[in-house]
Amino acid sequence: MTAAPPRAIATPCIKVCIVDGESSLCLGCQRTLPEIAGWAKLGDAERAAIMAELPERRARIRPEKLGML
């Protein structure tokens, strides 16, 4: 009997890891460093709650910084 492969974890990561000093958010995914570091340990509901906040968080980053991506 073979074990089922682990299921993928939903993530907003786009492989652009630049933390903005003003907002303390990653310019790529809008998560904080502690959220990024602990992402795999969070439950599905916790990850979903953070992902729901990302559009609002993006608005806290100055547009010219996002234009660098």
Q: How far apart are CA 22 and CA 12, in angstroms?
A: 20
- pLDDT, average across residues 18-40: 97
- Under the banding of pLDDT at 50, 70 and 90, the label for residue 2 is confident
- pLDDT, average across residues 26-48: 96
Instruction: Indicate the SS3 state at residue 53.
Output: helix
- Domain edges within the chain: 14-69
Q: Are the C-beta atoms of 19 and 27 separated by less than 8 Å?
A: yes
